[in-house]
Structure 1
């Protein structure tokens, strides 16, 4: 078969409908050579358009990256188109960006999602307490430099647990960068620390002795980690053992207990900053979504309600689950976030 005839056979069997749609002509009524030329032009056009569409289509594939900040390797997860609105996800204790492993792809089709691991957590560097000052001021300083290094100029912040004192420090330092807040069991009010869980930790703030510190090491055991994930949930069978299976080996690394004790102590620096954070909320009025696990014994719902005092643009949801609300209600939180962000953040 001649080459031209082979092309003609392909054209008459595979292309006519395309040509009909694109050109409004019946290819079969055209001279062979003209039809072949026209079909090849159309095919080339479709190929180019298809390639461009593929390049522009947002992807939910999660990339695992590392960047140097002050000599430290800061690991982070990233997904979504970089020209889309950015979400900065700040994790809690004792986990890492791992807690967002399911949320990131659920949001990444429309948003640029970035979730770093703090020093001492996840896959980031974990220098000893002699090599790095583990305070919330310092964590916020590193994460602030991280946002600049990876080019985050404006973003919404997901504040959870330790993510609240890190994120509020960022917000107060650069309010012009913060578009919205998503608060999930992240405290900024004294009412949120008025429960039994905090009593031994508050004692450590007042008297930082080895004895007081040793009394807190029970919070770093496997049983305590499992409790954080399972307490207050509706159905414990929905909570994957992969959660504590990921976290506990990191807590058990040599020297990591001392890192966590240093941060337990440093958490005492946060309540004195609450008035400053509350003033930020009143002055700047960032649109805020609260999605709070109401059965949390660490940050109970008593810490969620006071946000209503200071925020005019607040969407408020208490969820029937525990501390790590994403584990049981991740799909619901993702939906609430998408609806909230679609209204509040320009694409």
Structure 2
């Protein structure tokens, strides 16, 4: 089934060129199927690119999905036209009384700041708290994963000597977990961050479980509340050239940046990047939607607050 998107969203035309089928709200209104309702809090500076990356992944699901985009009133995007924000993004006050099957919170380029120094920390904290009562399952990505772990459990972040930048090999700690259905024993995922969370800081919290990690990149996926929250420190949603664009941007700004590891052919930035993580990214989000949204959400979304931990699903 297709993804239902606001009419005229730029991602629609971009994805049509990739032969990805999406449906506008006007067309979807003629179908009598309750779609999954997913909210995206997009904190990335290049919002249209981030929208397209996320939509590309979600559209690979056979489920019908209705997508809303959320913006913060306490922060104004400098890299996205305000006309775009006004046309396609909602204020928190517009969604706070509603319930959603899923929430995706993206990364943000503020990881070098203490959390309380981020100008929108109070508002994003309010969204995190709201999600625990109004969303069946949430995926927090990169900075958002670190921020939510800090908000809920006090897990600290630690600065890295060099930016964790590239595509890294990962392993799975619990293969019975439904999120990893269809995964190989080892898989790749991009990372782009200056800070990290550490295994020992996760393991002191019995409510948290470390699901996947990397010898080079460290903690990758942590689950909380039985599947109500997933904390993903990497960027499985990235398109093939996103790391390249970040690398070129930093080089042009004269910032200290290393060539992203295991990304370009022969580690040569003049060569084409190698796609190593697309299959993993599709599986990750498809499994999340299938096992933690579609199979676990109450048909009546008004009953989300009655959910406890999502019951584990046994291998079949």
> In which range does the TM-score fall when normalised by the shorter chain?
0.3 to 0.5
TM-score by length of 1: 0.39
More strand by share: 2
Structure of larger gyration radius = 1
TM-score by length of 2: 0.42
More helix by share: 1
